Amino acid sequence: MGLEELIAIDTQNPGADYRRIRRYLTAALEDRFAHVRVVAGNVLGTWGEPRMLFNAHMDTVRADGWKRNPLKAWNQGGRIFGLGACDTKGSIQAILEATKNGAQDLAVLFSTDEECGPKTGAARFFKTVVGTNLAKTLQGAVVMEPTENRVFTRHPGYVQAELTFKDSTGHSSSRRLSAAGVAIETLHRLQHQAGWNVNVSSIKADAAGANIRPARCQATVSIRSYRKPLDVIQKIKATVPSKTRLRIIQAEGPLDNRHPFVGQPAEVHFWTDAATLSTAGINAVVYGPGSIRQAHQPDEYVLKTSVEKAAAFLKRTAEMRP
């Protein structure tokens, strides 16, 4: 099965080398009679005048804590284990299966840098194709992420920021809050903004000893909300003390697709490139084999039946005319 081959191609990010997987996917698409080219680092295959786009990212997170070789897939009772099995090489496999006899008026985009980096390959792709025929004919898209074969139409936006809190140093007996104390208090307040999901992924204060007030405390936070990224940034600025330094690492908008073709609105909680496509005026939904509960951890797996089900779904969707 091709999924094992896809898993064996190392695309761990940061630092992913896409040359091998690009060659593999270019050859596979050419076998399916697609016109293939590399656009902004991504592999794009098209048939006819594409109205529908299928997108899956080629990179995986870095393997951490695996007891077996994560690039050597193994099958256990219909579960295919391996790095990227569900996020999202199972999806790439589903796309290849759905198009194995060719397709009509369809585009397939295998994109880079979804797992890390401030700009995803899909975003770079759309910057490149703005104003072209392809951007005009595309109306619908399926962005593939592990959703256990369910279609999702909404998810929050994503803002990642680094906050550097500053205050005076001195003896720790002072009753005034240190930079670290201010950081904790402010992060707490940020966490209580209505409708925000705030994750503090790191916090570090550097005092020379337990008896010294740290003058500086740095925290990295990611915020998920349905507000526009600019509004989120404004709200952060309004919440933190004025001498705090704010560095925005990533700022992506939400997905809220209400086009009739997508059916009942359903919400997923992680950010996807569907938001990028929807900003570009394409009715994107999120769908894919495997579960997000298996993603980004050792012994990631996808059910073989889930990949097959996804391939059948894509085949049906390719025939839809949104």
Positions in the binding site for Zn ion (CB under 5 A)? 87
| End-to-end Cα separation, the chain, in angstroms | 32
Phi-psi region of 309 (alpha: psi -120 to 50; beta: other; left: phi over 0): alpha
State the minimum distance, in angstroms, from the CB of residue 303 to Zn ion: 18
**Residue 255, CA distances (Å) to 15, 121, 205, 293 in order:** 28, 18, 36, 21
State the minimum distance, in angstroms, from the CB of residue 97 to Zn ion: 21
Residue placing its CB nearer to Zn ion in the complex, 87 or 113:
87
SS3 (DSSP) at 46: strand
**CB-based burial, 268-300: b 16+ in 10 Å, e otherwise:** beebbbbbbbbebebbbbbbbbbbbebbeeebb
**Residue with token string 């909404």:** 154
State the minimum distance, in angstroms, from the CB of residue 287 to Zn ion: 15
- Distance (Å, whole) CA 209 – CA 260: 61
Q: Give burial (CB, 10 Å; 0-12/13-18/19+) of 123.
A: buried
Residue placing its CB nearer to Zn ion in the complex, 26 or 120:
120
State the minimum distance, in angstroms, from the CB of residue 217 to Zn ion: 29
User: Cβ–Cβ contacts within 10 Å for residue 104, how many?
Assistant: 12
Q: Which residues are 255's β-sheet partners?
A: 155
Residue placing its CB nearer to Zn ion in the complex, 87 or 167:
87
**Residue 216, CA distances (Å) to 165, 244, 246 in order:** 6, 10, 13
State the minimum distance, in angstroms, from the CB of residue 33 to Zn ion: 31
Residue placing its CB nearer to Zn ion in the complex, 11 or 218:
11
Per DSSP, the chain holds a count of helices (H) and strands (E) of 9, 15
State the minimum distance, in angstroms, from the CB of residue 116 to Zn ion: 9
Residue placing its CB nearer to Zn ion in the complex, 215 or 292:
292
Residue placing its CB nearer to Zn ion in the complex, 116 or 212:
116
Residue placing its CB nearer to Zn ion in the complex, 97 or 300:
300
Beta-strand pair 140-144/283-287: parallel
State the minimum distance, in angstroms, from the CB of residue 284 to Zn ion: 17
Which residue of this chain has its Cβ atom nearest to Zn ion in the complex? 87
User: Cβ–Cβ contacts within 10 Å for residue 255, how many?
Assistant: 27
Residue placing its CB nearer to Zn ion in the complex, 87 or 97:
87
Residue placing its CB nearer to Zn ion in the complex, 87 or 252:
87
State the minimum distance, in angstroms, from the CB of residue 83 to Zn ion: 11
- Distance (Å, whole) CA 30 – CA 257: 32
State the minimum distance, in angstroms, from the CB of residue 296 to Zn ion: 6
